[in-house]
């Protein structure tokens, strides 16, 4: 389906309203349509809006929430600990953006993120703090929202928020499974919930976008999460989500207890470390520096090669570190944006195929991830 573009959006709430409008037109059900929501710290003031979407066959619930000066997840850089908090901190206008988490159920009574089987930090008892992803916005400044949907073989919505040269993505949908197993909800964002407000990226080619990660990549910090019920291993708790980063349990990593790996890599996940997944990866073809085109294109005439994006998860027992491929992100490919412009559509198989793809950089062209980006089926 052809993408839709909304321009001139100056607040997180106005972006969220357009997300709702688009999801409705794409056939998704809106369960909470940008309703006022109480703050997550004391539940005392309305500090943002929540949007809950359900995919057409009812298998996935995506929860989005705007931030307008206060944190929206329990654990966030520049936020406070919710435990024992007695008063709201001073409003911080840098804490502006949109958060996302996914679940297999919905309740309008609980906090926006407190839903059935949402991803949580690794915790033996299974009640760690909720994890999600997010994109930062800049109040009063102009943003553009690009919306894409993929309907076959599985559902997926891709929101891309542009601010100047910087592109941030929020994606949720179902994995196209290779085989039979329980789960399948997958979501990703340019930053995880902890890093969402960790710094304020400045928009220029030398941006400190290093705290962002390419969507559906393996990086040190997780920014993609896959629902996959791996059973009850002794002493481990019931882990339902896999996280795409390392297995370190610091807050910024957002480790769920099960590693998820993608072939898209960053320099942080290409090092020979114990946690880095030793599986097929595309580090070799990706940009190696800000100004490197990568080799994911054919030098003869700049044809970009679409490489299908699969996911692999460590299967039990964890100690063996055996990554089993579980499925594929449909309609989504790694591309090199060398000689392509952000947000444009291209006919992807030379010379003519009729297959159009919209392309975006992971963050910014010639930024932390060079010319690496994604192409989205139209």
Partner 1 sequence: MTVHVTKGSVASLEQLATKIRDFVTDATEHTTDVWELIQDEASPYGIIFKAPAHRVGEYQYIQVMMTRIEKGITYSNWYNNSRECKGYRPVNTSTNTYIVEGPNGGPIDIFARNADTLNFSVNKQYSQGLKFYEQGGKITASNTNPKLLQQVKNRYTSSGWQGFELFYPPAYPLLYYPKLTIDDDHPTDWFSYWLIKDRCTLTVVICVLGIWQSISLGLFNEIDVETYAFPAFVAGGNMGFIGAGYQKYNINAHTPTPISGMCADYSIDVVSVSNGNLLSAGKMSDSDVGVTQFAVMRPDGVWTWFGNYKQWYAVIAGYVPQGYVTNYYFPSTPPERINKYNVVYPNNTDIHELVNLYDTTGKDVKMVIPVSMFANDPSSDYKGVIGFVPNNFMLLGKPIRLGEQLIGDSKYLIIPNGWENRLNFYSYYIGVFPLPVGSKETSDSALLKDKMDKIIEKSHMAYLAIYMGE
| Residues that bind partner 1 in the complex, under the rule CB under 8 A | 178-182, 228, 277-281, 283-285, 295-301, 303, 305, 307, 312-313, 315, 321-326, 350-351
Q: What is the CA radius of gyration of the chain?
A: 19
Instruction: Check the CA dihedral 54-55-60-64 and report its sign.
Output: negative
Least Å distance between CB 310 and partner 1?
Answer: 9
Q: What angle do CA 377, 283, 274 make, to 5 degrees?
A: 120
Residue with Cβ nearer partner 1 (164 or 325): 325
CA distances from 95 to 165, 195, 200, 306, 308 (A): 20, 11, 9, 36, 35
Q: What is the DSSP letter of 366?
A: T
Q: In terms of CB distance, is 15 or 297 closer to partner 1?
A: 297
With respect to partner 1, which residue has the nearer C-beta, 85 or 280? Answer: 280
Minimum Å distance from CB 213 to partner 1? Answer: 20
Closest CB 230 distance from partner 1, rounded Å: 9
For the CB of residue 281, give the shortest distance to partner 1 in the complex, in Å: 6
User: Min. distance of Cβ 219 from partner 1 in angstroms?
Assistant: 17
In the complex with partner 1, which residue's Cβ is closer, 201 or 277? 277
Residue 236 beta carbon to partner 1: minimum distance, rounded to whole angstroms = 17
Across 194-271, the runs of DSSP E, i.e. the strands, are 224-228, 232-233, 237-238, 241-243, 260-261
Using the minimum distance from each CB to partner 1, give the nearer residue, 31 or 307. 307
For residues 200 and 211, what is the distance between their CA atoms, to the nearest angstrom? Answer: 10
Alpha carbon 98 to chain centroid, angstroms:
11
Q: How far apart are CA 243 and CA 259, in angstroms?
A: 5
Tokens standing for 166? 């910087």
Comparing CB distances to partner 1, the nearer of 183 and 331 is 183
Give the nearer residue to partner 1 in terms of CB position, either 252 or 315: 315
d(CA 96, CA 14): 12
Alpha helices in 174-333 (DSSP H): none
Nearer to partner 1, 110 or 284 (CB): 284
Distance CA 375, CA 362 (A): 10
Q: From 64, 98, 63, select the one nearest 196 (Cα to Cα).
A: 98
Q: How many CA atoms lie within 13 A of 194 on its CB side?
A: 20
Residue 181 CB, nearest distance to partner 1 (Å)?
A: 5
Residue 231 CB, nearest distance to partner 1 (Å)? 8
């Amino acid at each position: 389906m052809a993408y839709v573009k909304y321009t001139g959006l100056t607040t997180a709430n106005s972006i969220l309203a357009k997300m709702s409008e688009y999801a409705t037109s794409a056939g998704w059900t809106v369960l909470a349509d940008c309703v006022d929501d109480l703050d997550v710290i004391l539940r005392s003031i309305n500090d943002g809006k929540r949007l809950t979407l359900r995919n057409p066959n009812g298998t996935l619930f995506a929860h989005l929430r705007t931030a307008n000066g206060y944190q929206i997840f329990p654990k966030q850089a520049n936020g406070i600990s919710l435990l024992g908090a007695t008063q709201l901190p001073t409003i911080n206008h840098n804490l502006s953006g949109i958060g996302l988490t996914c679940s297999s159920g919905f309740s309008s009574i609980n906090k926006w993120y407190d839903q059935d089987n949402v991803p949580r930090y690794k915790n033996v008892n299974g009640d760690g703090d909720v994890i999600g992803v997010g994109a930062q916005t800049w109040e009063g400044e102009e943003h553009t929202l690009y919306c894409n949907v993929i309907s076959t073989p599985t559902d997926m919505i891709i929101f891309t928020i542009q601010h100047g040269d910087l592109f941030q993505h929020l994606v949720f949908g179902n994995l196209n499974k290779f085989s039979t197993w329980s789960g399948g909800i997958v979501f990703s964002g340019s930053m995880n919930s902890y890093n969402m407000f960790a710094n304020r990226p400045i928009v220029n080619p030398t941006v400190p976008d290093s705290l962002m990660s390419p969507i559906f990549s393996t990086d040190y910090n997780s920014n993609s999460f896959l629902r996959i019920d791996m059973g009850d291993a002794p002493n481990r708790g019931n882990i339902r989500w896999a996280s795409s980063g390392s297995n370190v349990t610091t807050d910024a990593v957002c480790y769920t207890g099960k590693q998820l790996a993608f072939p898209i890599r960053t320099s942080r996940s290409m090092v020979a470390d114990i946690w880095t997944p030793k599986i097929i990866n595309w580090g070799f073809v990706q940009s190696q520096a800000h100004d490197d085109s990568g080799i994911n294109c054919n030098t003869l005439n700049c044809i970009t090669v679409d490489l299908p994006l699969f996911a692999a998860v460590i299967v039990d027992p964890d100690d063996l570190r055996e990554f089993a491929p579980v499925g594929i992100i449909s309609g989504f490919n790694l591309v090199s944006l060398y000689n392509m412009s952000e947000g444009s559509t291209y006919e992807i198989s030379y010379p003519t195929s009729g297959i159009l793809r919209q392309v975006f950089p992971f963050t910014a062209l010639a930024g932390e991830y060079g010319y690496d980006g994604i192409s989205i089926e139209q």
